[in-house]
Amino acid sequence: MSELTTIVENTLETRFPEVVVRDERKGYEGFIIQAEKLVEVVTKLRDDFGYDYLSSVTGVDYLPEGKMEVVYHLYKSTGGSALVLKAQTPREVASVPSLVPVYPGAELQEREAWDLYGIHFEGHPDLRRILMWEGFHGHPMRKDWQEAYYEEDSKPYKSRWPDGEVWRSEDKNTFHKNVDYPAGFDPETWVPDGDASLYAGLGRVVKPGNGGGLGTEQVVVNMGPQHPSTHGVFRMVVTLDGETITALKPVMGYLHRNHEKIGERNTFLQNMPFTDRLDYLSSMSNNFGYALAVEKLMGVKPPERAEYLRVIMAEFTRISNHIWAIGFLLNDLGAYFTPMLYAVEERELILDIFEAVSGSRMMCNYFRFGGVARDLPEGVYEKIRKLVYDRLPRKIDELDLYLTNNEILRSRGEGVGILTPDQAIAYSASGPLLRASGVPYDIRRADPYSIYERFDFDVAVRYHGDIYDRYMIRLDEVRQSLRILQQAVRDMPEGPIQEGKPQYQVRVPPGEAYGRVEGPKGELGYYVISNGKPNPWRYHVRAPSFVNLTPLEIMCVGNKVADSVAILGSIDIVLGETDR
Amino acid sequence: MSEELNTPGYEIPPEMQGQVAITTLDKIYNWGRRSSLWPLMFGLACCGIEMICTAASRFDFARFGMEVMRPSPRQSDVMIVSGTVTKKMIPQIVRLYNQMPEPKYVVAMGACASGGGPFKEGYNVVSGVDKYIPVDVYIPGCPPTPQALLNGLIALQKKIDKQSIKEVRWYQKEPIEAIPIPVLGPDIMDPREYASIREYAQGKLESESSSAAVPAEEAA
Amino acid sequence: MDGMGILRGLGVTLKRFWETYWDDIVWWLRRGRRYDSEEGINHRMSINTRGIFTIQYPEEKLPVPEEFRFIPFLLYEEGENGEKQDRCTSCGICAKVCPPQCIWIVRTNDPETGRPIPEPQEFYIDVDICMNCGFCAEYCPFDAIKMDHDYELAVYDRVHNNIYNKEKLSKPVSYYSSIRPTNYTREEQARAEAEAAKAARRAQRN
């Protein structure tokens, strides 16, 4: 922990005696703050100590103690390690003050905690369910909430072995489906919400006036969930004044696959392949973050060669993700499919390497706690070398020549969807979105993990914060990734790839850990709590695609409806991660 | 092409071979349909990415007449359900299916679309899209590689080849009923099951009140 | 100047368009077979690929690397008289490590003593749940379950087809050694070494 952090922590305790208490639980860090004083303390932290970036907000259900906890991870946008704050509240009437007035970036994350945990955030401007729909019974992440196919609290299930007569879960359900209804429910009298609460909230933003002349009526347009521009099953509800957007609401949850609920039932290792399916375009980075978080708890470090392999795979992932994102951005801007095809071709070559190394093109499942799954097979090293020294630099230059300075791209992209640096920080934007707005914040430099200190690379940064800069920054980052790759390929030592023996049942001491990596989409964080059992007590993913959608509205308002498609494309979301 | 269409058993004079083909109506009709299956541009999850890769240059399903991916269900023939089907999404999927014109086909791509996949136990996951709409081909795998998807699409073409105009459902006299769109209640509800849902919920209430000491059994 | 960016971009497209023909011509002049041949597929997969990139499935197939994993399968040793000896001892590690819990194993019990016999009576995998993660193969101490390369598994009916039983899952060791030769050699070596070490220890003890 840096000196500055210690100073902050000491002052915190003296300045707010009895309000701020050090978290003394074994393996825990940070402070527990009296819920009523939360806003006051964080305002102080933001204004006086520079903790201006709220990374993650999440709820934890401590069922045995009968309380809920909300965990906040604060960072400085100038770099450094986390300040962890916690607010506790009784389980029955869970309520804490909302931090949206201080950090607007908390908006979606607090809604998620409300949806999944039923924690009420006092003062939240638009506290609705976000991943499930209004009217769903119960708050599913609560430890005492059970789904229709509930079998046991933790895996492995006893029914699988030694007397594993096969059955399908649906055969045991009354309706032969994954459904359950509360007692005494009558479907005939049920009135579905039908998004009424969503539409009611659309008037929240102050609308610019129409000026003089004829009066116009605003219309609400739904884009998605099945819409070719939304990169999956995402939905934008926009209010239009003519063609100008006056309000926009992101609606998500159409791919909510209960990653965290399943993750808390899995053993630690079993979660690894599930992380692949978060951001399915960059599974290696997802593995990386989760491995870091659990390794922090376990206190193991992978051997040298494994570290290099991890970096190589993570940077390849970044390249393949960024060229894919560029291709899709151009799709959204109307250059239908041709840039995409060129990008996919290079991506396929990278996927060939992933497939040879890990066994699968997309769902790599390559990282293990304290190492990686297997060494490079024969011939792959040569292929990687040729790719990073010869082909990819050439092809990136070609992509650059092909698209950069294209007049159509410039006129569609420049000055559209602007996010200022202050807004980007306040709205917890991360990754290329943050750096394109002129904030040179890259976790690989700001809070280094693995062996990134050893490599010589620049943090890409652009200053306009518009679509065009977000396109440019991806090209820049690909070039920087290639630099890292070239160094990593050159320096990679021989040696073991796994610390200790590979185990399927790892021992994780009690405690909490927050592992975060600079994923291709932004800050990917894993918050893991272990209570010494084989499966995590809490497993939370701070998904960059999800949090980066918080500033979508302020980026879109005032632009034309066609621009919203491009703005969404320039954020580069993946729905598997947004909805989890 | 003419070899493909020719029905054996008819003699074609040598000078006309390669110029004419004698075929059955079924055969030419099926040939036409299976050679231009337009998929709905509809990616749900991870498998959707592999579907895009299948459309891209390395695997290129344009070779099968499928390159025209239609964003509108009104113009598409085959719906590739590519990914996890959630309860929040299933009303839209059923609506899209209803909007597709006959003849229409559904391919369940990957474990999730077929039977819930690794996320089956999740509270928001539908255990297989076939619980709501009829599926023609199931492709296992998580995710199926592009070649596995192509294999599934070829399987669909083979299925089309076996159909007969006399028996296909879209030429029958009785009208094809649209599938009722599920409703988002406390859990997803099929409008056809309202009576049994009420019965189940009443039964649950009674068993809860009669034996308050014994916790009510979960439906699973 | 306005329009230069677009022209440059079109130039790139034109170059790529030209390359598709150029590469074909080069191959034709060299009398090589660019299509329907192993050489041609390897060229299109290689780092130097240019021109037409398509692998014409199903006539051509993109070769899968050795580590490629799809659905798991069970290995059996073939005896001299054609009898099948399962490698699986029904220890249950694969069922325990399986993340989505798609493996079901019925252990065989000796009818007389009631004690378990190291051989599964039944072994099921629900491929509608399986996530192809490869953990079962990775952590099996007996090398009895491995990941298959066969991905052509499309079916018309999942209810009857997609729960694989032991019969459907079992494949001979020779098949395994053909799809994963390096892994097979390494495992056989390790096993031989372990046997030798065991024998040495036994000899030492005596």
Is C155 an interface residue toward B (CB < 8 Å)? Answer: yes
Tell me: do A515 and A455 sit in the same domain: yes
Tell me: do C42 and C77 sit in the same domain: no
Inside any domain, residue A238: yes
In this complex, do C122 and A165 lie within 8 Å of one another by their Cβ atoms?
yes
Range 45-74 of C in CB contact (< 8 A) with A: 45, 47-49, 53, 64-69
- Per-residue pLDDT tens digits for C52-97: 888 888 888 888 899 999 999 999 888 888 788 888 888 889 999 9
pTM passes above 0.80: yes
DSSP state of B192: G
In this complex, do C151 and B141 lie within 8 Å of one another by their Cβ atoms?
yes
Q: Are strands A219-223 and A235-241 parallel, antiparallel or unpaired?
A: antiparallel
- Say what the pLDDT of residue B31 is: 87
Question: For chain A, what is the domain count?
Answer: 3
- Residues A505/A382, Cβ–Cβ less than 8 Å: no
In this complex, do B122 and A262 lie within 8 Å of one another by their Cβ atoms?
yes
Tell me: do C86 and C152 sit in the same domain: yes
Rounded CA separation A575/B208 (Å): 39
Q: Which of A257, A336, A344 to mutate to test the interface with B (most CBs of B within 10 A)?
A: A257
Inside any domain, residue A224: yes
- Residues A32/A87, Cβ–Cβ less than 8 Å: yes
- Say what the pLDDT of residue A294 is: 92
Tell me: do C122 and C185 sit in the same domain: yes
Tell me: do A31 and A116 sit in the same domain: yes
Q: What are phi and psi of A88, to 5 degrees?
A: -110, 150
CATH classification of the domain holding A285: 1.10.645.10
Q: Which residue has the higher pLDDT, A380 or A197?
A: A380
Tell me: do A241 and A347 sit in the same domain: no
Q: Which domain holds residue C9?
A: 1-63
Local structure of A256: helix, strand or coil: coil
The alpha-carbon gap from C173 to the nearest alpha carbon of chain A, in Å, equals 20
Where is A236: in which H helix or E strand?
A: strand A235-241
CATH classification of the domain holding A114: 3.30.460.80
- Say what the pLDDT of residue A331 is: 87
- Say what the pLDDT of residue A211 is: 60
Sign of CA pseudo-dihedral A417, A422, A423, A425: positive
- Residues B110/B47, Cβ–Cβ less than 8 Å: yes
* pLDDT class of A210 with cuts at 50, 70, 90: low
- Per-residue pLDDT tens digits for A34-89: 888 889 888 988 888 888 999 999 999 999 888 999 999 999 888 888 889 999 99
Q: Residue B150 burial (CB < 10 Å; 0-12/13-18/19+)?
A: buried
Q: Which of C151, C155, C157, C161 to mutate to test the interface with B (most CBs of B within 10 A)?
A: C151
Inside any domain, residue A435: yes
The alpha-carbon gap from A247 to the nearest alpha carbon of chain C, in Å, equals 34
- Say what the pLDDT of residue C14 is: 93
| Cβ-nearest to B115 among C70, C156, C158 | C158
- Per-residue pLDDT tens digits for A460-473: 999 999 999 999 99
Instruction: Give the residue from C63, C81, C97 where a domain finishes.
Output: C63
Tell me: do A207 and A337 sit in the same domain: no
Could you tell me the maximum CA-CA distance found in chain A, to the nearest angstrom?
78
Inside any domain, residue A45: yes
Q: What are phi and psi of C122, to 5 degrees?
A: -140, 155
Show residues of chain C in contact with B154, CB under 8 Å: 58, 154
Tell me: do C58 and C131 sit in the same domain: no
Confidence check: pLDDT of A205 > 80:
no
What was the ipTM of the complex prediction? 0.92
In this complex, do A151 and B186 lie within 8 Å of one another by their Cβ atoms?
no
- Per-residue pLDDT tens digits for A432-452: 999 999 999 999 988 888 899
Rounded CA separation C129/C122 (Å): 18
Rounded CA separation B197/B205 (Å): 12
Is A567 an interface residue toward B (CB < 8 Å)? Answer: no
Local structure of A538: helix, strand or coil: strand
Tell me: do C174 and C83 sit in the same domain: yes
| Cβ-nearest to C58 among B60, B118, B154 | B154
Where is A240: in which H helix or E strand?
A: strand A235-241
Of A188-197, A342-351, B57-66, B186-195, give the lowest mean pLDDT range: A188-197
Q: What is the mean pLDDT of chain A?
A: 88
Rounded CA separation B141/B163 (Å): 27
- Per-residue pLDDT tens digits for A115-138: 999 999 998 888 888 898 888 888
The arithmetic mean of pLDDT across residues C16-38, rounded, is 88
Tell me: do C82 and C99 sit in the same domain: yes
CATH classification of the domain holding C112: 3.30.70.3270
* pLDDT class of A421 with cuts at 50, 70, 90: very high
Tell me: do C52 and C77 sit in the same domain: no
- Residues B193/A144, Cβ–Cβ less than 8 Å: no
Instruction: Give the residue from A251, A283, A314 where a domain finishes.
Output: A251
Q: Which of C50, C158, C161 to mutate to test the interface with B (most CBs of B within 10 A)?
A: C158
Tell me: do C81 and C108 sit in the same domain: yes
Q: Are strands C72-78 and A523-530 parallel, antiparallel or unpaired?
A: unpaired
Instruction: Note every long-range contact of A82-85, with CB atoms under 8 Å and residues 24 or more positions apart, other chains counting.
Output: A82/A30, A82/A55, A82/A447, A82/A514, A83/A5, A83/A8, A83/A9, A83/A30, A83/A31, A83/A45, A83/A51, A84/A23, A84/A29, A84/A30, A84/A31, A84/A514, A85/A30, A85/A31, A85/A32, A85/A33, A85/A38, A85/A41, A85/A42
Confidence check: pLDDT of B2 > 60:
no
Q: What are phi and psi of A318, to 5 degrees?
A: -60, -45
- Say what the pLDDT of residue A209 is: 54
* pLDDT class of B154 with cuts at 50, 70, 90: very high
- Per-residue pLDDT tens digits for B13-25: 777 777 777 777 8
DSSP state of A137: S
Q: At what angle do helices A338-358 and B46-55 cross, to 10 degrees?
A: 120
Inside any domain, residue A178: no
- In terms of residues, how long is chain B? 220
The beta strand positions in C61-167, using DSSP E, are: 72-78, 84-86, 103-109, 116-126, 145-147, 163-164
- In terms of residues, how long is chain A? 580
Tell me: do A442 and A312 sit in the same domain: yes
- Residues B136/B106, Cβ–Cβ less than 8 Å: yes
Rounded CA separation A72/B86 (Å): 29
Show residues of chain A in contact with B71, CB under 8 Å: 227-228
Q: Centre a 10 Å sphere on the Cβ of residue B41 and count the other Cβ atoms it contains.
A: 20
Q: Which domain holds residue A239?
A: 199-251
Tell me: do C92 and C163 sit in the same domain: yes
Q: What are phi and psi of A564, to 5 degrees?
A: -60, -35
Tell me: do A99 and A51 sit in the same domain: yes
In this complex, do A169 and B220 lie within 8 Å of one another by their Cβ atoms?
yes
Inside any domain, residue A532: yes
Rounded CA separation A430/A453 (Å): 20
Question: For chain C, what is the domain count?
Answer: 2
- Residues A369/A293, Cβ–Cβ less than 8 Å: no
- Say what the pLDDT of residue C35 is: 86
Tell me: do A438 and A496 sit in the same domain: yes
Is C45 an interface residue toward B (CB < 8 Å)? Answer: no
- Token readout for B124 is 């928001």
* pLDDT class of B211 with cuts at 50, 70, 90: low
Rounded CA separation C114/C63 (Å): 47
% of residues, chain A, pLDDT over 70: 96
Tell me: do A390 and A514 sit in the same domain: yes
- Residues B90/B52, Cβ–Cβ less than 8 Å: no
Rounded CA separation C68/A360 (Å): 6
Rounded CA separation A381/C151 (Å): 27
The alpha-carbon gap from C8 to the nearest alpha carbon of chain A, in Å, equals 6
| Cβ-nearest to C129 among B120, B137, B145 | B120
Q: Chain A: residue nearest C67 by CA?
A: A359
In this complex, do C8 and A401 lie within 8 Å of one another by their Cβ atoms?
yes
Tell me: do C38 and C80 sit in the same domain: no
Inside any domain, residue A7: yes
- Per-residue pLDDT tens digits for B159-171: 998 888 888 888 8
State how far Cα C15 lies from the chain centre. 38
Is A338 an interface residue toward C (CB < 8 Å)? Answer: yes
Rounded CA separation A434/A463 (Å): 10
- Per-residue pLDDT tens digits for A278-335: 889 999 999 999 999 999 998 899 999 999 999 999 999 999 999 999 998 998 888 8
- Token readout for A386 is 């040729």
Instruction: Give the residue from C63, C80, C113 where a domain finishes.
Output: C63
Inside any domain, residue A565: no
Q: Which of A160, A272, A363 to mutate to test the interface with C (most CBs of C within 10 A)?
A: A160
Local structure of A37: helix, strand or coil: helix
- Per-residue pLDDT tens digits for A494-525: 989 888 888 888 888 999 999 999 999 999 99
In this complex, do A225 and B197 lie within 8 Å of one another by their Cβ atoms?
no
Tell me: do A204 and A88 sit in the same domain: no
Local structure of A75: helix, strand or coil: strand
- Residues C126/A301, Cβ–Cβ less than 8 Å: no
Tell me: do A108 and A241 sit in the same domain: no
Confidence check: pLDDT of A233 > 70:
yes
- Residues A529/A538, Cβ–Cβ less than 8 Å: yes
Q: Which residues are paired to A60 by β-bridges?
A: A69
- Residues B136/B162, Cβ–Cβ less than 8 Å: no
Tell me: do A110 and A224 sit in the same domain: no
- Per-residue pLDDT tens digits for C104-150: 998 888 888 888 888 888 899 999 999 999 999 999 988 899 999 98
Is A344 an interface residue toward C (CB < 8 Å)? Answer: no
The beta strand positions in C12-102, using DSSP E, are: 72-78, 84-86
Rounded CA separation C145/C136 (Å): 7
Is C182 an interface residue toward A (CB < 8 Å)? Answer: yes
Tell me: do A232 and A304 sit in the same domain: no
Show residues of chain B in contact with C55, CB under 8 Å: 58-59
